Amino acid sequence: MCGRFALFRWSSAFAALPGFPADQSPHWSLAPGAAVLLLRQEAGDLTLSRVRWGLTPAWLTDLSRTPAQARAETLAEQPMFREAFRLRRGALPANGFYEWRGSVRKRPYWMTTEGSLMYFAAIWEAYPVQGHTYLSAAVVTLPAASQRRPLMLDEAGLAAWLDPETPLEALQRLFEAPQPALRERPLATLVNDPKLDAPECLTPAN
pLDDT in tens, 29-45: 999 999 999 999 998 89
Helices (H), the chain: 12-15, 82-87, 155-162, 168-174
In DSSP terms, 134 is beta-bridged to 127
Q: What is the C-alpha to C-alpha distance for residues 14 and 128, in angstroms, rounded to an integer?
A: 28
Q: pLDDT at residue 199 above 80?
A: yes
Contacts of 169 (CB under 8 A, 6+ apart): none
Residue 124: what pLDDT? 98
Higher pLDDT, 106 or 63: 106
Distance CA 16, CA 40 (A): 15
Written as one letter, the residue type at 163 is D
Phi, psi angles (nearest 5°) of residue 160 = -65, -40
Question: What is the rounded average pLDDT of the residues 46-51?
Answer: 97
How is residue 160 annotated by DSSP? H
In whole angstroms, what is the distance from residue 25 CA to residue 106 CA?
A: 29
Distance CA 11, CA 34 (A): 22
The answer, yes or no, to whether residue 200 has pLDDT greater than 80, is yes
Mean pLDDT of the chain: 94
Distance, CA of 120 to CA of 103 (rounded, Å): 27
CA nearest to 110, candidates 34, 11, 2: 2
| pLDDT above 90 (res 105) | no
Backbone angles phi, psi at 138, to 5 degrees: -130, 145
pTM value is 0.95
Per-residue pLDDT at 1 exceeds 80: no
Check residues 128 and 16 and name the one with the higher pLDDT.
16
Q: What is the mean pLDDT of residues 167-191?
A: 95
Q: Is the pLDDT confidence value at 206 over 90?
A: no
Position 146: which residue type?
A: S
